[in-house]
Structure 1
Amino acid sequence: MSLTTPLGSGPALRTCHLPPDGLYEGPRELRRLAPGQPDRPYTLFDLVPLGPVIGAEIGGVDLTRPLTPAVHAELDRALLEWKVLFFRGCHPSSAEQRAFARNWGELETNPLLAAGDDPEVARFDRSSTPGFENVWHTDVTFRERPALGAVLHLREVPPHGGDTMWADMAAAYDNLPRQVRARLEGALAVHDFVPGFARFTPAERLVPFQDRFPPVEHPVVRTHPVTGRRTLFVNTSFTTRIVGWDQEDSDRMLRLLFQQAHVPEYQVRFTWRAGDVAFWDNRATQHYAVNDYAPHRRVAERVAVAGDRPH
């Protein structure tokens, strides 16, 4: 990018150069809803927004009890509109956490993660081992059908730190330069579990899963199956290259796209208390677990809802 003063407009401003493919200051389009979608109130619970496009705290819903069809429908709309919902002080059991998640579909497990008391619940016990989720990522995009969403329960929190952040990847797509969006139209990218796990898992443990989880291709920009929003769908953990592109061009474009989750205007940051629950739309977001609480303990349990094949 070069910055100059137009000819004939007064003293010339010196020419300067900025590295290409960066993030620059200026206005950003922050659109929470799909075009034409009305902004309707919620009538069956309290909803407090935590940002302009992503993240809302829900009050008046007991996750330890079955949801009525009406409450489920309104929560589903809130999830689609706010992308991640927070419930304070719920303290659900593993069975109650699974039952809540099943309102959105069948559950899936990830054999690469440690299980809790129930095999359908993944446990992240960061006491003797450090956290490795401190990179922007979307869960299990190395599957043919990545998860629809996930329900995370913090059972034990450190005295400080340990926040989680989420980014709205529809907002990230909306604000890409027009020429970048045009170039990505129809592009596919390869997703592989190996780079996301090899940094902290012994190779001999990963080798048996290579045939079960071969590399898959997904659209670089997916269309949300319910809202129709165009959503940037590549991430640092699992996306390795853009199909059919020269490796250098692919690497350069992916670096640019990975940066988009780092824009604060697209983010929400949540400070946990023991018993809190977060439920996010994995089709529309990336998340980042802040690893700043060592040597204290942080214990989280996650249930994932099976998803569809991105298109």
Structure 2
Amino acid sequence: MTMTVTPSATPVLRDARVPADGMYEGRRTLNRLPEGTRERPYELFDIAPQGRLIGAEISGVDLSRPLTPELREELNRALLEWKVLFFRGQGITSQQQRDFAANWGELETNPLLARGSSAEVVRFEKGGSGAPTFENVWHTDVTFRERPALGAVLQLHEVPPVGGDTMWADMAAAYDNLPDSVKARIDDATAVHDFIPGFVRFYGPERLIPMQEEFPPVEHPVVRTHPETGRRMLFVNTSFTTHIVGMDRDESDRLLSFLVRQAHVPEYQVRFRWQAGDIAFWDNRATQHYAVDDYAPHRRVAERVAIAGDRPF
């Protein structure tokens, strides 16, 4: 008996796709400095980079002592170039922390958060039987203000034995790597920021309603320009950005969901493991941050002083 063999069809790759606006893999543009900036050494302290783009540990500076104009200028250059600076084992007082932060401008008060030793000091105390506090979501501080903070100085007083790290993300890098089609949609767009979404998880209406007049919704550019470096930076966040002006809600929600996910890219991040007495000083204009909530039932106690900023443009 003779069998006839039918040639098989040419193999065809099956159709497959990821969801629209899904994250992508591959090489990313990782520019730490603005284009054309010349690298210069630091003369007044030693610096140890903690990542390719963001985060540097500073040694040789005593933050309990007043800064000379020259030291302040060099630290400011390091802040602009590295976005977040770490100072190990400082253990300074709240007054010294305020004095250090005041080198960068007017200090901010925040009636929505627990107060430390003065109105300018915010205290974060969590763990054990303490109440929940604000931390494990990527955000930029107080973008619900007309003038969001320039930066913040955070000191850890009590550190859990394991966990409790903080992460920062470089939002200039996040913008640099957006598809051109997305940049075209957002370069001239504005978004509404409101304090309610970030605080309604923890406070009831009786606490928030009296604050509504003091903190009305504000509009900021979706992409802001850094006032000192000139870099373009993505300026929306999960905690406070509610919608993009002029878009219907579904379109705005979808675009914002894509934009806020950019902070999650590890190449744009640095992660810091705290020890008691350590200080972090970050540029709130250029970064988002995330306090990792992985240390229960241990306690974590920190105090923060924030510096008032300018109106984003």
TM range (shorter): over 0.9
The residue that corresponds to 1:113 in the other structure is: 113
**Partner residue in 2 for 1:166:** 168
After superposition, what is the alpha-carbon deviation per residue over 1:48-72, rounded to whole angstroms, capped at 9, x for unaligned? Answer: 0000110000000000000111111
1:158 maps to a residue whose letter is: P
**What is the CA–CA distance in structure 2 between the aligned matches of 1:12 and 1:24, rounded to whole Å?**
24
* 1:12-161 equivalent positions in 2, closer than 5 A: 12-127=12-127, 128-161=130-163
Residue 299 of structure 2, aligned match among 297, 303, 307: 297
Letter in 1 for 2:107: L
Question: Matched residue of 1:287: which SS?
Answer: strand
Structure 1 contact 131–291 (Cα < 8 Å) conserved: no
The 5-angstrom pairing of residues 278-289 of structure 1 reads 278-289=280-291
State the one-letter code of the partner of 1:25: E
| 1:196 pairs with 2:188 | no
Contact kept in structure 2, 1:149 and 1:304, CA below 8 Å: yes
Would you say 1:214 and 2:216 are equivalent positions? yes
Q: Please tell me the root mean square deviation across aligned C-alpha atoms, in Å.
A: 1.0
Of the two, which has the highest radius of gyration? 2
Q: Tell me how far 1:133 sits from its aligned partner.
A: 1.1
C-alpha distance in 1 between matches for 2:100 and 2:252:
40
For 2:51 and 2:33, the matched residues in 1 are separated by 13
* Whole-angstrom distance in 1 between the partners of 2:29 and 2:226: 19
Q: For residues 174-189 of structure 1, what are the structure 2 equivalents within 5 Å?
A: 174-189=176-191
Shift of residue 14 of structure 1?
2.8
Alignment correspondent of 2:3: none
The one-letter code matched in structure 2 to 1:302 is R
Please report how far the alpha carbon of residue 185 of structure 1 lies from its aligned counterpart in structure 2 after TM superposition: 1.7
Q: Tell me, in whole angstroms, the C-alpha distance in 2 between the residues paired with 1:89 and 1:114.
A: 24
The amino acid that maps onto 2:251 is D
CA distance in 1, matches of 2:190, 2:220: 5
2:43 & 2:30 partners in 1: Cα distance? 25
Q: Which moved more, 1:244-253 or 1:14-23?
A: 14-23
Measured in 2, the distance between the counterparts of 1:217 and 1:53 equals: 29
Displacement of 1:298 in angstroms is: 0.6
2: CA distance, partners of 1:48 / 1:131: 32
Q: For 2:12 and 2:183, locate their aligned partners in 1 and report how far apart those are by CA, in whole Å.
A: 33
Partner amino acid for 1:28?
R
Residue 13 of structure 1, CA deviation = 3.1
Number of corresponding residues = 302
Equivalents in 1 of 2:13, 2:234: separation in Å? Answer: 37
Unaligned runs of 5+ in 2: 1-9
Please give the TM-score of this superposition, normalised by the length of structure 2. Answer: 0.95
Cα deviation 1:260-302 (Å, max 9, x = unaligned) = 0000000000000000000000000000000111111110000
In structure 2, the partner of 1:5 is none
Q: 1:12 Cα deviation (Å)?
A: 4.5
Contact 1:58–1:87, Cα closer than 8 Å, also in 2: yes
Gaps of 5+ in 1: 1-9
Instruction: Indicate if the aligned counterparts of 2:147 and 2:311 stay in contact, CA closer than 8 A.
Output: yes
Deviations 1:67-94 (A, max 9, x none): 1111110000000000000000000100
Match of 2:251 among 249, 252, 257: 249
Q: Aligned letter for 2:90? A: C
**What per-residue deviation string (whole Å, max 9, x for no partner) do you get for residues 213-271 of structure 1?**
00000000000000000000000000000000011100000000010000000000000
The answer to whether structure 1 residue 273 and structure 2 residue 281 are counterparts is no
Question: Aligned partners of 1:290, 1:130: CA distance in 2, in Å?
Answer: 13
- In the other structure, the counterpart of 1:6 is none
Aligned AA (1:119)? A
Identity of aligned residues (%): 72
SS of residue paired to 2:243: strand
Decide whether the 8 Å contact of 2:63 with 2:92 is kept in 1: yes
SS class of match (2:210): helix
Q: Distance in 1 between matches of 2:251 and 2:209?
A: 30
In 2, Cα distance between equivalents of 1:36 and 1:25: 27
One-letter code aligned to 1:93 = T
Residue identity matched to 2:104: W
- Using the size of structure 1 for normalisation, the TM-score is 0.96
